[in-house]
Structure 1
């Protein structure tokens, strides 16, 4: 294992272009990818999650993709456990793990010292609140806390989602207000972290999102969700709360017509991307990369490698 183990994180909003760049970077680093996507973890949720295909993976091993049955729940603490296990394995092989994704809570679980103790806890409630934060945003979750505990809401910053969830959970269980929460979690000492945030011009990103939604529908998103519905899955399942799945479920349940569904899909995806960009901007350690400034992924790889002190064993073509 490396004496000073490193991890590289490639974060960014939906449809920004993480997949192609991550493959090029993983090849240059001679490493494997650990996903940080809360929907791609699920089996059978392929099109709506933009899960990379075998062809898109281009020989790069991906971890924490396509391994949780859609009927099961999966929490941030589950992710922290599983991701750290995969990180440890790669370090033991002398490789620097590349974590790629857009789920802020998952990235937090690797960046900060987190206490995921189960004492005085309600795991189901906590998972629901984590999903709510992921789909509706940190501000909406914080508003829930302000309704029941204004003092805690004043003390806990809305971006400290773990603390907000914990405060809500304590109130849910005990009926009493939460007390004595810190506002800033400590950065982990487990790894030396290199965090890169991918960005694009907002209007161009929104255009990419709209185009992706159209492509997903052509690829069979409605049929994918219909098959999941036949399995007995509805919006009470965590897997079906993901953007793309809940909107199509509404259409299949005759809550609105097809055109309305498409409009909701695009709107929800754009709003989610905006929340993701806001989330990532708060990381002091983040090094932003504007993808609009480069024509080739290889040019970006050449910039990243020296920053993470890794030499490319094969010259980037």
Structure 2
């Protein structure tokens, strides 16, 4: 018997955190964050990290496990998430992954195998020479054109990974993302994927309101502390909400322009998340546009989960 696994996915600001906690209470569950940036300590406001009060006593995993100057990738996420799933299941509880990083979640539920693609030293040297000559923006544009998902994940200053992503495509004709997605789609666990969606105008409004609330909560100061520590050439600072404010601190934009860019980039990210989930994952979708009807929607989702995973909900 495969361990049961519940996965809650959807775009940023759609309500995954609140629902996952409610479902964990109902189904004796524990939650694994599927967010690629909430792993970083101190990046609390900008990543909308769940607070201790919001957890309502439910254990959470893969949050605050990395310092901001440390790298983190899909393979490490897969390893750590699998360990957490086995641990949670061994104690008779239901593992619940909640998050919005599509490739990370897929790597776990489909048990992706990470193997080495061929190399081309001459091509790699060519890219290194271009980057050393100051052409990193041009090289990143090439990566965005052929593999936008990898370009989203890889910081331009992580030259080794930028080059490797382009080298894989050069050698195989397939992107790094395609190689993962082409793997057999046999699920490692008895998995149920619940997707949350929302009418786009309402979702974008919620995203804008969330950014305004982040600013009230101290987002600018949170990012300024990283800036003053000299954190720059690292993956964490590429997160939405941090890179835009770095431009403000570098006097490239005004604060209002930086916040407008943050909102716009968050809306674009939400759109990409929805496209990814709908095209590449087998999901049962629930519309959360009526935020006043959250309790009723939670009952509906709970009944569906109980029937599909054959588990009883707590009263």
Return the TM-score normalized by structure 1: 0.80
Q: Is the 8 A contact 1:121 1:170 kept in 2?
A: no
Unaligned runs of 5+ in 2: 125-140, 152-160
2:29 aligned counterpart, secondary structure: coil
2:66 aligned counterpart, secondary structure: coil
Of the three residues 232, 241, 257, the one matched with 1:260 is 257
Shift of 1:110: 1.3
Of the three residues 82, 95, 98, the one matched with 1:97 is 95
Q: Is the 8 A contact 2:34 2:97 kept in 1?
A: yes
Provide the residue aligned with 1:73 in structure 2: 71
Shift of 1:190: 2.1
Of the three residues 164, 172, 175, the one matched with 1:169 is 164
Pairing 1:285–2:282 present: yes
Provide the residue aligned with 1:205 in structure 2: 203
Q: Distance in 2 between matches of 1:64 and 1:259?
A: 33
Residues 62 and 15 of structure 1, relative CA distance in 2, 3 Å threshold: same
Q: Distance in 2 between matches of 1:114 and 1:268?
A: 29
Q: Distance in 1 between matches of 2:58 and 2:13?
A: 20
Provide the aligned C-alpha RMSD in A: 2.9
Provide the residue aligned with 2:145 in structure 1: 143
Q: Is the 8 A contact 1:209 1:266 kept in 2?
A: yes
CA offsets 1:265-312 (integer angstroms, 9 cap, x no match): 110000000000101101452100111254415423334332322111
Q: Is the 8 A contact 1:9 1:195 kept in 2?
A: yes
Residues 34 and 204 of structure 1, relative CA distance in 2, 3 Å threshold: same
Q: Distance in 1 between matches of 2:44 and 2:192?
A: 29
Return the TM-score normalized by structure 2: 0.81
Q: Distance in 2 between matches of 1:277 and 1:233?
A: 31
Q: Distance in 2 between matches of 1:70 and 1:244?
A: 14
Shift of 1:121: 7.5
Of the three residues 247, 250, 255, the one matched with 1:250 is 247
